[in-house]
Amino acid sequence: MATKIRNIKNEKYWDYFILVARFLIGMTFIHYGYGKLVNHQFGISDQELITPVKDLSLFRLSWYLFDHQPFKAFIGVSQLICGTLLLWNRSVLLGAFLFLPIVINILIIDLTFMPPMLAQGFAWRLSFYILLDFLILWHYKEKMVVLWDTLWNNTKTKFQFPFWAYLILPVLAIGLEIFGVFPKIIANLIISPEATLESLSRVPELFWEALEKMGS
């Protein structure tokens, strides 16, 4: 009986630890996401704006590029959504899954553009957050097994197709890609017919130029 009570206590402490981890990385993402939306992150000073590109550090140059829209708003909103999902019990698994691609991209960006000392500090911090996220996913491993079975097992086409149908997939995929261009062409013909017709008249020339380059 005592052992059972002790196990329940340990599970309760672990459950609370996971709640703390969710709160930490969730609020961190909300903080940084909000900062991007209110211009508290990214951007460079007026003095740096008139500095030649060759004299700017890679870090400051990246901060200038990341300050442009819609990139900054997209990242900010994504972090806000992910942080909120982590805080809400019903959506914690979705938030934990969404957290990984966002934070790994941030980690790669930091390692690429930041000065070595600063990048090292952020690498340790973000790696710790990634570890916490994996612990959250592990904590809900029973649901993860169900989710994995749903996503991975018994997923196939609704109908069986003959072997030749798979052989012509590349050709049909190219045709589908070309078909996707037609709505844009039609819209451009309506908006700017003369310029569009002139551009279309150069398509054969560009096509043969591309073939010559491939052959050379």
Structure tokens at 98: 């969404």
Question: What's the per-residue H, E or C state across 152-203?
Answer: HCCCCCCCCCCHHHHHCHHHHHHHHHHHCCHHHHHHHHHHCHHHHHHHHHCH
Q: Domain boundary at 88, 120, 147, which? A: 147
Quick check: is 127 in a domain? yes
Distance CA 82, CA 70 (A): 18
Q: Are residues 37 and 135 in the same domain?
A: yes
* Residue 8, pLDDT score: 63
Q: What is the DSSP letter of 72?
A: H
Predicted local confidence at residue 29, as pLDDT: 97
- Pair (21, 101) in one structural domain: yes
* 203: containing domain: 163-215
Candidates 187, 214, 189; CA nearest to 200 is: 189
**What's the pLDDT at 70?**
92
My answer on whether 107 and 181 are in the same domain is no
Same domain, 140 and 197: no
155 half-sphere exposure, CB direction, 13 A CA radius = 7
pLDDT of 200:
79
Taking 70 as the pLDDT cut, the residues of the chain under it are 1-9, 214-216
Q: Give the closest residue to 23 by CA, choosing from 76, 87, 74.
A: 87
Last residue of a domain, which of 115, 147, 179? 147
| Residues 178, 98 share a domain | no
Domain assignment present for 66: yes
Does residue 107 lie in a domain region? yes
Per-residue pLDDT reduced to its tens digit, 55-100? 888 899 898 999 999 999 999 999 999 999 999 999 999 999 999 9
Distances (CA, A) of 175 to 165, 170, 179, 212: 15, 9, 6, 22
Residue finishing a domain among 95, 122, 147: 147
pLDDT of residue 207: 72
- Examine residue 56 and state whether it is found in any structural domain, yes or no: yes
